[in-house]
Chains A and B, each alone.
Chain A
Amino acid sequence: MTRLRAEGLTLAYDERTVAEGLGVVIPDGSFTVIVGPNACGKSTLLKALARMLKPKSGAVYLDGEVISTYRSKEVARRLGLLPQTSVAPGGITVGELVARGRYPHQRLLKQWSEQDESVVTEAMRLTNVLELSDRLLDELSGGQRQRVWLAMVLAQETAILLLDEPTTFLDIAHQVEVLDLCADLHEENGHTLVAVLHDLNQACRYATHLIAMKPGEGIVAQGDPSEIVTAELVEDVFGLPCRVVPDPETGTPLIVPLKRQRVPVAETLTAR
């Protein structure tokens, strides 16, 4: 049995339909990555899985029940979300921000139990931000900040984590740092991760389960990246002629775009 799945999803903003007929099964304990070109609806699908967007038809199921039938706080105890953009309140320290992740476990008279404190400390230790706890979030680098946000979601203590483009706005070193951290969480702590990523090579390297989407057609392939990622798939989905070779570091598929075909200038530019 799988904890998170979706059937027959049609996703739309107002009248504009983004994707139709999506069926997704997120394998428990997987690091699932959703890829696809711009406007294919990958972030929209993640939003629907996180109950941020109400599907026009179809449903998302969490632990066998339609996700919208749960109370919002109950979902927040089972499934955590790192949105693409979050606003850090002015003057907030790292520790205070991470502590906010405990909200779904707190009640009016139980606002900071010993368990809250130990879970927050552990989340900060895992993401390596414990030493920053008294620093203001505004003072941190982009990579550090993203680890703090991740710590906040971890403090929710959910088995399932949804991450919407967690590496955007980061330079390459910090992208790898964040993804390595995700891989650690997946392998060592047994979290089920679902992430939207832009970089296909990073997706192939880190994902145990890949979902490829194409504008207008929805999901065109899902499965183990080393089984489904081929030059034909990449050309079909992204329109990019390429070769797929084994990554020299990990053996996972590595997409190498074909060399530019030189077009004689005379054919493209008409002489005046």
Chain B
Amino acid sequence: MSAPVKAVRGRVVRTGQVSFRFAERTVLVSLVLLVAVVGIGLVTLTSGDFELTVAEVTKSLIGRGDGASDFIVLTLRLPRLVTGILVGAALAVSGGILQSLSGNPLASPDIIGFTQGAATGAILVIVLVDGSMVQIGAGALVGGVATAVVVYLLAFKRGVQGFRLILIGIGISFIMLSLNKYLVTRASLTDAIAAQAWQVGGLNGRGWDHVRVVGLAVAVLLPPALYLGRRLALMEMGDATAKGLGVDSERTRLALIAISVGLAAVATAAAGPVSFLALAAPQLARRLTRSSGVGLVPAALMGALLLTAGDLAVQRLFSPAQLPVGIATGAIGGLYLIWLLGYEWRRGIAR
């Protein structure tokens, strides 16, 4: 026989009954993204109107800081940073799941109506009951989930097909958008301003309450998402192939959509409808890793990086104005969407 050919690339780890195979590039990209998130975090915590040294921040973080830096780090900057990391990761995983399920890079919770539905729920709470931040968050959660159920049921026809889901989602998205506008026009001036401000999406003034809510959701929903990620990769090959390999595709799809909706709704509840992040982060991560897998971990890290970096940029570049990061992601995301549509269009022609 000729020289042995290695059947499958990748690094293999085996000890006893435990064995894994992974692509080195994916691990490397994830590590770089993680380092970048930590770096952005450090800059966010140290810089600003009140400059702090890394040593002062570290002291505050381990509970040995003085009063002023404790207040700035622990009350103002850290919860905002952590909310950004969690919301970014949640949105990216939510979008990554939907894109993989539908086999379409256009699928994301803000395109197919989940985010708009969450906004409707939040605005209803603002306008009707003048609710607290927690109540607004709950309203967003209910609105997002309810919209997702409607989109899913309308798209259901002997199972749910990706393209159908997107088209129906886009339709529902516009209906919810006009409903949101209608609600704002009917509201009192203060409510309308509050609703409008919330609709932009941003991290201004986010505190530990937000961290707790999103943190809990991410802690509960991210592990099953990662666990189901392997099945998700198989389902990309078509339902028949996945089922032939032993994946219960209908049930797995339902579970994954539920996770995706939950993550998007909670993220929206905490930070408002931050646009385009869920759309762009998984695709950017996939291009960097060049992996054929679903890659939810690099996607989550990419989401966290994009949102925290974007928030840092709007805080520092437009200071003292408190520009919401949703405006920045919207502007950059719009450019990305133009590029994506052009790319898909050219690819479609090339076929």
Given contacts A76-B244, A111-B21, contact A14 B158 (CB under 8 A): yes
- A85 surroundings in chain B (CB, below 8 A): 238, 240
B24 to chain A, nearest CB (A): 14
Whether B132 is near chain A, meaning CB under 8 Å from some CB there, is: no
B241 touches A76 (CB 8 A): no
B8 touches A117 (CB 8 A): yes
Within 8 A of B (CB), among A43-69: 50-52
Alpha-carbon separation in the docked complex, A117 to B7 (Å): 7
Alpha-carbon separation in the docked complex, A108 to B223 (Å): 12
Whether A75 is near chain B, meaning CB under 8 Å from some CB there, is: yes
Whether B314 is near chain A, meaning CB under 8 Å from some CB there, is: no
Q: Among the listed A75, A83, A121, A130, which residue makes an inter-chain contact with B241, where contact means beta carbons less than 8 Å apart? A: A83
Whether B192 is near chain A, meaning CB under 8 Å from some CB there, is: no
A90 touches B292 (CB 8 A): yes
A17 to chain B, nearest CB (A): 16
B-contact 0/1 string along A181-206, CB 8 Å cutoff: 00000000000000000000000000
B250 to chain A, nearest CB (A): 11
Given contacts A76-B244, A81-B240, A87-B238, contact A133 B6 (CB under 8 A): yes
Whether A253 is near chain B, meaning CB under 8 Å from some CB there, is: no
B-contact 0/1 string along A138-162, CB 8 Å cutoff: 0000000000000001001000000
- B240 surroundings in chain A (CB, below 8 A): 52, 81, 83-86
Alpha-carbon separation in the docked complex, A26 to B233 (Å): 32
B-contact 0/1 string along A79-108, CB 8 Å cutoff: 011111111111111011111110110001
B236 touches A72 (CB 8 A): no
Nearest-neighbor residue (CB-CB) of B292 within chain A = A92
Given contacts A72-B243, A87-B237, A99-B7, contact A112 B292 (CB under 8 A): no
B149 to chain A, nearest CB (A): 23
B7 touches A112 (CB 8 A): no
Most buried by A among B6, B103, B248: B6
A271 to chain B, nearest CB (A): 48
Interface size on B, residues (CB 8 A): 32
Given contacts A76-B245, A89-B237, A131-B5, contact A103 B291 (CB under 8 A): no
Whether A134 is near chain B, meaning CB under 8 Å from some CB there, is: yes
Whether B230 is near chain A, meaning CB under 8 Å from some CB there, is: yes
B246 touches A77 (CB 8 A): yes
Given contacts A99-B7, A112-B12, A112-B19, contact A93 B292 (CB under 8 A): yes
A111 touches B19 (CB 8 A): yes
Whether A212 is near chain B, meaning CB under 8 Å from some CB there, is: no
- B7 surroundings in chain A (CB, below 8 A): 95, 98-99, 117, 120-121, 124, 130, 133
Within 8 A of B (CB), among A1-30: 13-14
- B20 surroundings in chain A (CB, below 8 A): 111-112
Nearest-neighbor residue (CB-CB) of A119 within chain B = B7
- A114 surroundings in chain B (CB, below 8 A): 14, 19
> Chain A, interface size: which category?
35 or more
A-contact 0/1 string along B292-304, CB 8 Å cutoff: 1000000000000
- A110 surroundings in chain B (CB, below 8 A): 17-19
- B19 surroundings in chain A (CB, below 8 A): 109-114, 116
- A131 surroundings in chain B (CB, below 8 A): 5
- B237 surroundings in chain A (CB, below 8 A): 86-89, 100
Nearest-neighbor residue (CB-CB) of A149 within chain B = B241
B8 touches A83 (CB 8 A): no
B9 touches A134 (CB 8 A): yes
Given contacts A91-B290, A112-B14, contact A133 B244 (CB under 8 A): no
- A113 surroundings in chain B (CB, below 8 A): 14, 19
Whether B167 is near chain A, meaning CB under 8 Å from some CB there, is: no
B292 touches A96 (CB 8 A): yes
A98 touches B246 (CB 8 A): no
- A103 surroundings in chain B (CB, below 8 A): 230, 234, 245-247
A-contact 0/1 string along B69-84, CB 8 Å cutoff: 0000000000000000
B22 to chain A, nearest CB (A): 9
Within 8 A of A (CB), among B262-297: 290-292
B291 to chain A, nearest CB (A): 7
4 closest cross-chain pairs (CB), A and B:
A76-B246, A81-B244, A92-B292, A73-B246
Listed by A's residue number, 11 A-B pairs whose Cβ atoms lie within 8 Å are: A50-B244, A77-B246, A80-B244, A86-B238, A96-B292, A109-B19, A111-B21, A114-B19, A116-B19, A120-B7, A153-B244
